[in-house]
Amino acid sequence: MPAKICVVGSSNMDLISRVPRLPKMGETLTGHSFHLGYGGKGANQAVMAAKLGARVTMVTKLGRDVFGEGTLKNYRDQNIDTTFVLFDESTASGVAPIFVDDQAQNFIVIIPGANNRLSPLDAQSAAPAIRAADVVVCQLEVPPETTLEVFRVARTANVRTILNPAPAAALPDELLRLTDICVPNETEIELLTGESAQTLSHAEIAAKKLLARGVSVVIVTLGERGVLVVEQNAAEHLAPVKVNAVDPTGAGDCFIGSLAVFIGEGLTLREAVRRANAIAAMSVTKIGTQVSFPNRATADEFLRTR
């Protein structure tokens, strides 16, 4: 049976500019190209899970504008259940200007828009989808009280939870206690714990600070350094999969969406992380976010060769 994944989170329109280098303060720079893409951490993670064949339900809020209508169509085109894709009539859809340079480095600015209107009441309305899932995935691009309510509902049904604490913000202890797997990147875990993640040993110390607050497992994504999995009595580093990187945008979301599917399918944590790590590496070899995510057949073939 396909894994059942419920993603509660953000939907944005990505405004992607390719530039020779990232501009300096006050500088006007001529770029190579520009294109629009469907994004938002929640949306990206949902689409990645759907591309791997999971049954995905998305819980999100859009503005009643061209971006919102396009996003709804995109979800339907990806065979994602849109029962709980909601609209706010007074707020614009979220957008994310993204700049990517020739060295595949990027920076992103998020304007949340309607994402900030996704409420705990909306989460309660979506409780049937949350309880029916094998895995529930949340991020921090919607109000934290909404994410907390989602995880409360999930806990009542013993549904596994994955929290992507991005963008990094102060987290209530209750949310961490309700989090089975927390997946920050190296910058986010530094902001969350005040500990450097410059080395693997430092990253492990930072991860253990989150474990002490109630998280069951911390997975630190380290970009070109791979992934660090930290549990109460063990830590394991998985090396990166070597590829020719073109655009890292969305790689973390690709990892998390893939991880949710493999966990929902019953794989061990280590095997789920190994596969998600490889699929995330695949995604950076193409420009764009969701369009760079592989389908199940392509992902399985890549995993066989690795």
Bridge-based pairing state of the strands 94-100 and 12-18: parallel
Distance CA 212, CA 28 (A): 46
Residues 6+ apart with CB under 8 A from 30: none
- Determine the pLDDT at residue 244: 82
- Determine the pLDDT at residue 285: 85
The beta strands (E) that lie in the chain are given as: 4-8, 12-18, 33-39, 55-63, 81-88, 94-100, 106-108, 135-138, 160-163, 181-182, 217-221, 227-231, 234-238
From the list 81, 180, 247, 253, the catalytic residue is 253
CA 257-168-246 angle, to 5 degrees, is: 55
Per-residue pLDDT in tens (0 to 9) along the chain, 306 residues? 899 999 999 999 989 899 999 889 999 999 999 988 899 999 999 999 999 999 999 999 999 999 999 999 999 999 999 999 999 999 999 998 989 898 878 888 889 999 999 999 999 999 999 999 999 999 999 999 999 999 999 999 999 999 999 999 999 999 999 999 999 999 999 999 999 899 999 999 999 999 999 999 999 999 889 999 999 999 999 998 888 887 787 899 999 999 999 999 999 999 999 999 999 999 988 877 898 899 999 999 999 887
Distance CA 130, CA 124 (A): 9
Distance CA 158, CA 163 (A): 15
* Known catalytic membership, residue 247: no
Distance CA 85, CA 60 (A): 5
pTM higher than 0.75: yes
- Determine the pLDDT at residue 109: 87
Ordered structural domains, the chain, with CATH: 4-10+41-92+115-305 (3.40.1190.20)
Q: How far apart are the first and last CA of the chain?
A: 25
